[in-house]
Amino acid sequence: MKLLFLGVLIFALVSYAGVASLLGPSQALPTSHFVDITDAAGIRFKHISAPDKKYIVESMSGGVALFDYDKDGCLDIYFTNALTVETASDPKSSRSALYHNNCDGTFTD
């Protein structure tokens, strides 16, 4: 039994060494970073949230949905917003917004 285990162990180590040499030297992972392009893309959305308020409609936050509403093959963006009781009747307060993807990196409200 010990001989079988030793044989399997040697086979595994040799196999791993062969695969590792085929892959070549290990390389460092590339670094990545995010760039804010919302203005350049035409997205001007103000998120409103009031988690400190006492009514449930005021304490809920917004969200986002990505879907292709016009079936042009480009994902459009729908932002939802939460309003306070005071701002719900104000037509100038921030509302939910649907941004049409122009398929060129920009969006239209």
For residue 25, being part of any structural domain is answered with no
Burial label for 44, CB within 10 Å (0-12, 13-18, 19+), is exposed
For residue 23, being part of any structural domain is answered with no
| Domain with 96 in it | 38-108
Name the pLDDT band for 95 (thresholds 50, 70, 90): confident
For residue 65, being part of any structural domain is answered with yes
For residue 33, being part of any structural domain is answered with no
pLDDT single digits (tens) 44-86: 887 777 666 666 666 667 789 999 999 999 999 999 887 777 7
For residue 66, being part of any structural domain is answered with yes
For residue 10, being part of any structural domain is answered with no
Counted domains in the chain:
1
